[in-house]
Structure 1
Amino acid sequence: MVIGATASFFLFLGLYSWTSPIKFQEGLNCELYFWSLRCLVVAAADFPFLPDLSSLVHLHHLEVRKEQSITFWSPNEVTSPWKDAQSIYRLPPSLSTLKLHPILQLPDFSDFQSLLVLSISGCLMPRMPDLSCLKWLHELRLNDFPRLAEILGLGELESLDFLQITMCNVIKQLHNLSKLRNLQHLELKHCAKLRALEGLKELDSLENVEIRYCMSMERLPVVPAFTELKTNWMAPEAPEHTIRSTVLGKRLQLWELWDE
């Protein structure tokens, strides 16, 4: 179904059994057309605008993603899918699933008390809004935050059972995770500066931990005995051992020259 005369991008909708793609034009009254909308997925190569969605009081699932071209994505090219940038702060509080890929800025999460799934990638913000208010959040995925130095409120998400953090190369340490008693799966990948991870040994529900390409870590975290740990991490070589190895290597080279 097509609404409006101009075609800028598609909105794939889940309205009861209605799943036809719909095209929006500027000035569309979302409240008039979609007051009972439950699921909204926006996929586009470019975002000329996205209407104010605050009137969709029944919306539970919102996914906004940019269809990437063959060329590599550059974090400096992130643009807001909202013509009015403040619209990101006026999302309906009924959301239980929110997925934004990529996104220039993030909303204040204090209004999303019903949020169960949060997935964000390709964001340039150095700090995320405080997550501690998301008391019912079950799944958190953070991917490709090239400037993110801290995840506020992460250690307070007591309902969380799945946590994935990838390509966050500035983060050096996560807050103590000992309160995440329901956490079952933890995945950390390509966090180049991450040095430490604390609080996992207290997590009785933790089934799987995967740590890959986090080569700045000083040691692996202590996990419960029943937890499966997958990693390609290698213990850093002690400085004195490195010196001895270097000296020994030079001696071997000298002996080889002497033998010649």
Structure 2
Amino acid sequence: MNKYWINANEVSVEMFRGASEEILHETGVSGFFETMLWINNKIPLLNYHANRLKHSAKIQNIKSNIAALFRSDISLMPDFEHGLAKYQVFHSMSSNRVDRFLSVENPRSYPASNWTIGIATFLPEESLVLDAMSGGIKSTERSAYEQLQSKYLSDQYAEILVKDDNDFVVEGTKTNIFLIKANQIITPDLQGGGVAGVMRAYLIQQMKSCGITVQIEPVTIDTMNSCDTMFLSNALIGLWPVHTLVDAGQNSHSKNTKHPLIAKIRTLLPREFKHG
């Protein structure tokens, strides 16, 4: 059963959606959010989500203890074997008001082959002007990403890749990117903008702890095209290998989804994400 709360008060879906739409269109309101799995009454990577909320509040100059409020708010969530939780924080700069929106709904469904066989991705010609001052947070201002998804996401392409105005590949519209080249991991540097995902942070920490070399650096299109293989991650899917990368010129680049490093990295995932 789907449930909705605003500032720890349970509300109807109609009230929730109406209030969130209204606040999204208010002048002088900024916001950030987390999307999380809710499995057997627990959120995997809970501390990572709480820490990013704390960081997001600092970036947006919010004085409230958002991480503590988040932990209190999620205690309201019902028994749920498998759900999708979303936590949104909105900050009015004129009144300094902070509003918290929490929802738990049925999870999204993806083909099992996304984990086992892998996916095809598309890199469009368009570049996005990213905010270098965003600090890696998940801003509620997602219209540019949503436009790319609306235009290119399809049964053929499970994810759309994003490049910045310097033509560096930064991320997917809903995922972070990892390349494997010469048995090293390369993931894009996000100092120029982009979302620093909690699964990205978790995997980088785990890979380094078991001796896998991880390079965080700007990624060119040529580097991505020529890598041995690549995979995408976020806190909802865990890890999807990429078997095919297609660019705007319809050039297709095949990737080795059976690379031994992908198999090793799968073992590092939290148990809730170990598909296939």
Give the TM-score normalised by structure 2. 0.24
Q: More strand by proportion, 1 or 2?
A: 2
- Scaled by the length of structure 1, what TM-score is found? 0.25
Higher helix share: 2
Larger relative CO (CA 8 A, sep 6+): 1 or 2?
2
